[in-house]
A and B are shown apart, each in its own frame.
Chain A
């Protein structure tokens, strides 16, 4: 029997970290105190208290004296000499452009305010975006205003000029031995310019991208004997199988694919797709998948081969491996066969080419909805050996001049090449870069590169769609784009920058066509791409695939980081502070290992079991450091236990430990700065993605800033199964649509001591214990406990329980009915079936709402400022708990805007109040920072600015340009939280009022909703019964988080539905 006082007895407990599952201290400390280990007033010296009070009053008196105009200087009103056309002061405009900075080509809309870009949004016309955006692309706007940007041409550290550079370049490039090194080139115009350049200088072009798709392309070459580009149509996929692929982060077009995959996960549509993940490290796809199996990356070929032989593909031989249970493989094969033509397999970019070839063979065998197009980038693909070839050329002294465009090869090239010193050996070298990084330091010339928002360009997306990149702002510094610079060296420089791009588009020669393509964000295609140009798969492909060398013992897998990618965003504080999905680590990387492996490594007692470490003050129990040796090279790194990593696998993330990144990213003090560990040091050409490794213990330890226990839901006894995450299988949901309502614990017998509630409580306890057993008629009892609202659930117009006044409630809850009836009532739902925890909403919110970052030390103290956090839960207790592969659940949580908000009555200065539109308002200029509201918030969604985290914005002029002018930049001592993007609501309201009409459904889109690739967030006016939000709230899966607190929040959740294969004995 479940005893609510004893969480461990819950049938299905959710926990946020190992410590919590094992009843450790740390989770308890964080739950009991939002900001643990702070000094309280009784601990302070009496004199100090008086001094502080006196000082505070004096300053408050000065500020409140009302003598602004006597103290403040006269402000100036500066108007234009000639106003730019169509510019309206105070009104923002959107412009379409495109970028590849985030790692993938993404069509975006940029909101521009008075000539400065402030926010990036997805472009609905662009196939890779469809209106959504990913976290990294959203954060690229910070790079534009990064105070650390390279801002002048320097030669060996002394300031020079562009004309000086061009003079030197033209002299040296004539001498022969010219090499140009770029990253992956997705721009047709840049490719054309580079080709002009190498023709005119007789040079050679090399490409290097540390996080590349070389293996995938090799596999394609094996399969088709041609260079192809796969275009997946996940909207037609009933079954998606991922072989160690971070589908939502690494696949080309991932943002769009997330929308397509999750679009098939709508249980109300009557059918749901099924997702399988075989992975060495948990990914966001694996977390949402119906079946997740941890498999070492080196054994992935065995898995795919046995699957192929089970499917009966000619030439496929099962390796009789027991890596994955045979029942799983046969069930999957049966399902794939029955879903022929409606299933897709994808493989991770780090897997050997053979796996990719086998995946193509299976996809073709099953006639999967994958189109193989001729490569959309015909100018030469990235090849991993390129960098090695270049290194050999330099060693042979055949390179006289080296031009490096972007990238950072001195830092991220394979360690055995020692590329950094090779750059120094070249007589003449130049690096065009946004930042003064390791490569710029090694090169003779450091050239400031224009950010993509400052220059013209173009990019080809994964499916061949070409988009034009237009500048949104004049270059902030004296910089040039890659296109400008290469063009200037290739011949007589093009007069106007725009013509560098426009000359390549003869079809857009008319002004209308050109402006149309600019406005839409995509260039119309002349002809549809020819899919049949690619032949069929090579016969006997499967038999030809050779086994990759087995790795015995521990294997290290190099993985990109969802924040900094390959190191290009290490100086971006938004991405550094973004809690990484699944680990919740910020500011650092660590060796991620599974539970069993961690035990085997012999880490200190208490670390593995309790993981009693993170960010607690005083810093007891930091993460133990180990020495990781790969192929003779070793680094010392901390270990982090990431539940779900395959046994024997060590996941190391690339992109950290930078020596010259900038104020934010340069590796520094372990407590103040973080910055992680350079894992490129052990990555060699022999093991670019996978390698055997040895680990030995060392004595030291290292603090990691991990946010997993921060802001724990604050209720004394939570039955997390029913109160926090509600989930059910698709079959159960179909047979009993009210199953989610039945999970509520609102009137649990233990919640209060009302005598008469005992009976209800008993019923509920019974039903709760059997909540997943859908066929039980007891479900009816549960509904009874909720009164009228749920009795009629299922008929149109009814509202899910917990959203309407409860008859048993002492408070009728209609206090504001009259006001609410007259105004739109804002509400939000988050569909947990769709949320993949990808963090796009977190960064979108940060960008929209001027949210500051706080730095590693402050994160360790639990003071991060994100208005949305994504809670990650593992599930299991007692015997059901599988430490090696626990089910993972995500729950994004921002202020839920309670109608009966606990924060409001406790504010002594009425700084947080309720609006007539049902929003819980936070008035910054009234807040005095008592933090009572935060203390009283059961959801722990309020954020307090302890130390003037926006100080850097105030002190750095260029960062002021980044701030959204519609939102106040909050200062020290002020509480803040999600406002439902009230600036967007206000804009829509004013617009509607000026036109004397009502706000239409869909007119207000919050930043998080806009960014969400899975469309998990719905927002709107719930009073409008025809609106999407009203429909979403009528959904049977709708439930209220912490319903028992009776806060009646406006943000509600739709329970998660899983669709496991009944044939698999999970």
Chain B
């Protein structure tokens, strides 16, 4: 019977062993790339036809989120503002600003502005804004510190694990945002932005929330979250059902 392996096989085998040792590094590097902002674009400002600044409009001018995102309380989609909404003010102020040229052009030629989509859930995910707002989930929880964005970027990568973290047990993230006022959860969502633009000092909870960081309750405060869940009618027993998000 002829030789199965040629003499070179020894070298190949040794090299393979070394290559195997390098495999973990490849896997880690691959994962770092796919999970990093290079791929997910989290924190990377995305250029738009007109350089719209959430910071200017939300923080400095104090325009409510719902002025532009009209259906955020009633529909699955928050809604993107039609050109007409921009022109409400910009037909009067900054009428000659070159930055606003695409908006004026859209208005004059009756062609929509094609913004670049920043936040996007996959097609098989049926996210609903209305119910999250109704239960007091703040905009910044998913969208990052939107009141500080000159050019909008993505606040979260929207990985499924991230969604499930809260859906498995929302109590660990449930906090009363503006406790000094008896506001409904829905009102609490937008109260913070009012405070910021009005220059009212924020509480520690609000500060952290506005940083776009997870508002994880400390272990000794979890019972407060459980109580809030009961108050707001959040039942976690079915929140991780597949059909909650996928249909």
Q: A167 an interface residue at 8 Å Cβ cutoff? A: no
Report which of A90, A915, A996 forms a contact with B76, defined as CB distance below 8 A. Answer: A90
The answer to whether A78 touches B112 (Cβ under 8 A) is yes
Which range contains the number of B residues in contact with the other chain?
35 or more
Q: B162 an interface residue at 8 Å Cβ cutoff? A: no
Q: List the B side residues contacting A67 at CB < 8 Å.
A: 34, 39
Question: Nearest Cβ distance between residue A1024 and chain B, in whole angstroms?
Answer: 16
Q: List the B side residues contacting A983 at CB < 8 Å.
A: 126, 247
The answer to whether A88 touches B242 (Cβ under 8 A) is no
Q: List the A side residues contacting B75 at CB < 8 Å.
A: 88-91
Q: A774 an interface residue at 8 Å Cβ cutoff? A: no
Question: Nearest Cβ distance between residue B242 and chain A, in whole angstroms?
Answer: 4
The answer to whether A966 touches B113 (Cβ under 8 A) is no
Q: List the B side residues contacting A818 at CB < 8 Å.
A: 237
Report which of A83, A88, A993 forms a contact with B131, defined as CB distance below 8 A. Answer: A993
Report which of A74, A77, A915 forms a contact with B242, defined as CB distance below 8 A. Answer: A915
Question: Nearest Cβ distance between residue B103 and chain A, in whole angstroms?
Answer: 10
Kindly specify which of B8-16, B53-61, B91-99, B114-122 makes contact with the partner chain: B114-122
Report which of B81, B237, B243 forms a contact with A919, defined as CB distance below 8 A. Answer: B243
Q: A213 an interface residue at 8 Å Cβ cutoff? A: no
Q: List the A side residues contacting B24 at CB < 8 Å.
A: none
Report which of B71, B82, B122, B242 forms a contact with A90, defined as CB distance below 8 A. Answer: B71
The answer to whether B135 touches A979 (Cβ under 8 A) is no
Kindly specify which of A697-705, A888-896, A920-928, A1034-1042 makes contact with the partner chain: A920-928
Report which of B113, B117, B128 forms a contact with A75, defined as CB distance below 8 A. Answer: B117
Question: Nearest Cβ distance between residue A905 and chain B, in whole angstroms?
Answer: 16
The answer to whether B80 touches A77 (Cβ under 8 A) is yes
Q: A76-B117, A82-B84, A90-B76 are in contact. Are A986 and B243 (CB under 8 A)?
A: yes
Q: List the B side residues contacting A66 at CB < 8 Å.
A: 34-35, 39
The answer to whether B71 touches A91 (Cβ under 8 A) is yes
Q: List the A side residues contacting B128 at CB < 8 Å.
A: 986, 990
CA distance A967 to B124 in the complex (A): 9
Q: List the A side residues contacting B83 at CB < 8 Å.
A: 79-82
CA distance A49 to B111 in the complex (A): 53
CA distance A923 to B235 in the complex (A): 22
Question: Nearest Cβ distance between residue A964 and chain B, in whole angstroms?
Answer: 10
Q: A917 an interface residue at 8 Å Cβ cutoff? A: yes
The answer to whether B124 touches A968 (Cβ under 8 A) is yes
The answer to whether A921 touches B80 (Cβ under 8 A) is no
B136-170 contacts to A, CB under 8 A, are: none
Q: List the B side residues contacting A917 at CB < 8 Å.
A: 238, 241, 243
The answer to whether B82 touches A966 (Cβ under 8 A) is no
Q: A159 an interface residue at 8 Å Cβ cutoff? A: no
The answer to whether B238 touches A915 (Cβ under 8 A) is yes
* Chain A residue at minimum C-beta to C-beta distance from B48: A77
Q: List the A side residues contacting B116 at CB < 8 Å.
A: 74-77
Q: A89-B71, A916-B241, A996-B233 are in contact. Are A69 and B39 (CB under 8 A)?
A: yes
Q: A735 an interface residue at 8 Å Cβ cutoff? A: no
The answer to whether A916 touches B246 (Cβ under 8 A) is no
CA distance A819 to B235 in the complex (A): 10
CA distance A76 to B84 in the complex (A): 19
CA distance A926 to B245 in the complex (A): 13
The answer to whether B235 touches A822 (Cβ under 8 A) is yes
Question: Nearest Cβ distance between residue A17 and chain B, in whole angstroms?
Answer: 35
Q: B74 an interface residue at 8 Å Cβ cutoff? A: yes
Question: Nearest Cβ distance between residue B54 and chain A, in whole angstroms?
Answer: 15
Q: List the A side residues contacting B190 at CB < 8 Å.
A: none
Q: List the B side residues contacting A924 at CB < 8 Å.
A: 124, 246
Q: B79 an interface residue at 8 Å Cβ cutoff? A: yes
CA distance A80 to B131 in the complex (A): 25
Q: List the A side residues contacting B81 at CB < 8 Å.
A: 79
Q: A66-B39, A923-B242 are in contact. Are A982 and B247 (CB under 8 A)?
A: yes
CA distance A979 to B83 in the complex (A): 39
The answer to whether A83 touches B246 (Cβ under 8 A) is no
The answer to whether B114 touches A921 (Cβ under 8 A) is no
Q: A734 an interface residue at 8 Å Cβ cutoff? A: no
Q: A1 an interface residue at 8 Å Cβ cutoff? A: no
A885-932 contacts to B, CB under 8 A, are: 913, 915-917, 919, 921, 923-926
Interface 1/0 per residue, A947-971 and B, CB below 8 Å: 0000000000000000000111000
Give the interface of B toward A (CB within 8 A): 34-35, 39-41, 70-71, 73-77, 79-84, 106-107, 110-117, 120, 122-124, 126, 128, 130-131, 134-135, 232-233, 235, 237-238, 241-244, 246-247
In the A-B complex, the 7 residue pairs with the closest CB atoms = A916-B238, A90-B77, A80-B82, A915-B241, A79-B80, A90-B75, A66-B34
9 contacting pairs across A/B (C-beta < 8 A): A69-B40, A75-B116, A77-B80, A90-B75, A91-B71, A822-B238, A966-B126, A986-B247, A994-B73
16 new A-B contacts, CB < 8 A, other than A79-B80, A89-B77, are A67-B34, A74-B116, A75-B120, A76-B116, A77-B114, A78-B112, A79-B83, A79-B112, A80-B83, A88-B75, A90-B76, A913-B242, A924-B124, A979-B243, A982-B247, A986-B126
